[in-house]
Amino acid sequence: MPKKIGQMLPEVNPLEVTGDIVSAGSSTVFPLSEAMAVRFRDEGYADNITIDSIGTGAGFERFCVAGESDISNASRPIKDTEIESCQAIGREPLEFRVGTDALAVVVSPRTISPPI
């Protein structure tokens, strides 16, 4: 099944959502997930939100194979095999990009030549 790119997410009213939310996955996405959980609570969500930083692959495993989480945080796109695993347990994953991480290499000029 082809991946759906550029989908719009449905609007969610935190006051109407009930039940605990479990999120698991990427350590890179963890700080953003925590910030979103705080915002969701601030907007009125009353139940528990658990966010586990266990890595992208383990997050997809928990979401697509075990069905133990509600959200999978990932630092990469979902693989076709992971989509198939989700579908095998009756889940249709909705993938959306929230950002791009990067690595910057910075070198001090003092380490390249002797100080003046």
Convert the pLDDT of each residue in 52-61 to its tens digit.
999 999 999 9
What pLDDT is stored for residue 108 in this prediction? 81
Does residue 19 contact residue 108 with C-beta atoms inside 8 Å? no
pTM: predicted TM-score of the whole model, two decimal places: 0.78
CATH number among 1.10.10.10, 3.30.70.100, 3.40.190.10, 3.40.50.460, domain 14-112? 3.40.190.10
What does the pLDDT read at residue 56? 96
Q: Phi/psi at 47 (nearest 5 deg)? A: -90, -170
Distances (CA, A) of 106 to 12, 47, 74, 103, 110: 41, 43, 26, 10, 12
Write down the pLDDT at residue 89.
Answer: 97
Query: Vertex 100, ends 99 and 101: CA angle to 5°?
Result: 125
For the chain, residues with pLDDT lower than 70 are 1-7, 111-116
What stretches of the chain adopt beta strand conformation (E)? 21-25, 49-53, 71-73
